[in-house]
Structures are given as structure tokens and as C-alpha cells.
Amino acid sequence: MTSHSAVESRRNDGIELSGKPSSRSTLAGLLSCCVALAALTSCGTTLPATTTAANATPKACAADAGWNDPATPLRVHGNTWYVGTCGISALLVTSPEGHILIDGATPQAGGQIVDNIRTLGFEPEDVRAIVFSHEHFDHTGGLADLQAATGAPVLARAPAVDTLKRGASDRSDPQFLVLESFPAVADVRTIADDEVVKVGPLALRAVPTPGHTAGGTSWTWRSCEGDDCRQMVYADSLTAISDDVYRYSDEAAHPGYVATFRDTLARVAALRCDILVTPHPSASRLWSRIGPAASEPLADTGACRAYAQKAAERLDKRLADEAAAPAGKATP
């Protein structure tokens, strides 16, 4: 247990996290509405100066931005906000009763994410739960700092729990030999496959998507902008990529891994999916879809299917390469 006031209650249909209503929650909610209203000019004079920054013209992120390049935080849709760096995604899903943060980016990025949350007019202390995509340092590296800043537990599917607590992967990870370690996370709680994480009116479903890592998880929820409600999907990385030793086709070493990976690809392809965001923004062409350089529609109901299809082609190619190369000589 941390010193945070969050209480966790388990019900048949999910895990609910709540906290003492923060004196700031209402303000954050108001700010949320206010920021929503606006490209604005007239949001009122009572708002903190920081809110102004959220309304300033955001700096465009390059499609090939570095992992730690700072990004201007911005709205994705409704109560879903981009708070990551230009190169690695993090999302904040907000409500007047508390927020859920998705992903922590690199060990260097935790502070940027905290600043981005504040820039949007929200308080890090109102984050009630932190979830993530997959247990690699470029997505979990900032989680320890973010837990310290928010007091919120980090929720993980079982295969990722030990990696988070250690701050290091093991040989079950295809990329084990090339992965960097990251700051260990103190308060990790296990969630079930398809569990729904609830904070106030928020309900985010943990879609199990093992393959890129064993603990990989995609997230889906509904965000509304007035009557315009969209099914949001934060689809995990689905790339078949490894160090020089690992072979996906080695059924003796990890029985069923490829079949599980294929199930994941089918699951992502079948998701109801209006707006896709991925842990690496480039994988879903995010900076062509939001922000000042956007030139393509944000919503695309075929986006998850296309994303999974591309990953399936890559997995097929990888397995063909393994079949063509003697054991131990697989190309990553």
C-alpha cells in the first residue's frame, strides 16, 4: 500500500479505484471543460496561467522524433489527452473523479509527462491508476517517477508484474539481450485479462495482446466530445522483433508463443476501433493525424485492422526467415 488515498475494490466486472475527492478534482474538471470549449479566448480570467499554455499553438512533432523530444500536450478526443513525448506516447484519460494515465515512456521522460499533465490544467495527484502497454524501458521507464508524482498504483497483467518490480526483463522476452533496465516500480497490482479498470465514470478495458512481450496489453475505452463518442484504442506494439538468439519458432523453449501471438493479431484486428493510438506514435502516423501538422483524419475504423495486418505480415516474414536460417543464426 502506498500513502496514496486510493482504495481498490474488486467486483465481478472490474477493478475500481477511487480516492478521497481531491479539492482539485473539481477544478481539474472545470478546466477540462474550459479547455474543451476552446481554441479559446474567453476561458475566463480565473484559470491558472498554466492553462494558457494548453491553448497556445502546439509545436509540431516530427514523424521521426527522438524518444525524449518534448511534445506540447494536446487533446486527442474528448477526455483523452496526449501527454507523452514526440517519440513515445502517453495518454491521460480524465474525469472529475480522477484520471487514468497510460504509459510512462522512457526513464528520462517521467518529468515531462508530469509537466504535460499540469500544462493541460490537471493535477498529477488526481491520477488514480497508471496502466501501460508493454514491459520495455521505452514505455515503463518513467513509471516509477510517475508513481511518485501521482501516488497511483501501476496495474499490470500477470506476465509483466515481475519485470516491473525488478525493472528488468528475463529470457522469456524476445528482445531480452538488447533491453535496457529501468527504475523498478514499487506498487504494482495484478489485473486479469480483459479486466475493466474503473475510476469514477472512466472504464478502460485491458485487452491482452501478448506477442511483442508476454505482458503486452492494449487498452480500449469510449471518449466523447459532446455527442461525438468514439471508441479509443491504444493498441500495443505488435512487432515480431528479437535479439540474435531468440527464435519465435522454438516451440520447445516457449510452447504456443506463435499461436498466442497470432491470437493477439486477430484480437486487435477485431477490436471496435474508431481512433487508434500506438505506443510509438509513428506506428499509427499520429503526427499526421493530430497536432499542427495533421493532414489526415484522426478517426479511421479500419486502423486497428490495418495495424494488425501489417504486424501479421512481419511475423510471417520473421518465421520464414527463421525457417530458412539454421538455429542460432536467426536475423532479428
Among all residues, which ones are annotated catalytic? 134, 136, 138-139, 212, 246, 280
Nearer to Zn ion (CB atom), residue 151 or residue 208 = 208
The dihedral sign for the CA sequence 153, 136, 210, 166: negative
Residue showing cell 514526440: 86
Question: What is the nearest approach in angstroms of Zn ion to the Cβ of residue 173?
Answer: 9
Nearer to Zn ion (CB atom), residue 43 or residue 91 = 91
Residue 29 to residue 97: CA distance in whole angstroms: 8
DSSP-derived letter for residue 60 is: P
Nearer to Zn ion (CB atom), residue 16 or residue 103 = 103
Nearer to Zn ion (CB atom), residue 118 or residue 136 = 136
Nearer to Zn ion (CB atom), residue 99 or residue 136 = 136
Question: What is the nearest approach in angstroms of Zn ion to the Cβ of residue 279?
Answer: 7
Question: What is the nearest approach in angstroms of Zn ion to the Cβ of residue 52?
Answer: 36
Count of residues of this chain found to bind Zn ion when the rule CB under 5 A is applied = 1
- Residues 116-145 close enough to bind Zn ion by CB under 5 A: 136
- Residues 243-262 close enough to bind Zn ion by CB under 5 A: none
- Residues 139-198 close enough to bind Zn ion by CB under 5 A: none
Residue 90 to residue 74: CA distance in whole angstroms: 11
From the number of C-beta atoms within 10 Å of its C-beta (0-12, 13-18, 19+), residue 272 rates as exposed
Smallest CA-to-CA distance from 201 within 81, 273, 91, 99 is with 99
Residue 299 to residue 224: CA distance in whole angstroms: 13
Question: What is the nearest approach in angstroms of Zn ion to the Cβ of residue 189?
Answer: 22
Residue 147 to residue 132: CA distance in whole angstroms: 12
Question: What is the nearest approach in angstroms of Zn ion to the Cβ of residue 112?
Answer: 19
Angle at 62 between CA 57 and CA 136, to 5 degrees: 115
List interacting residues with Zn ion (CB under 5 A).
136
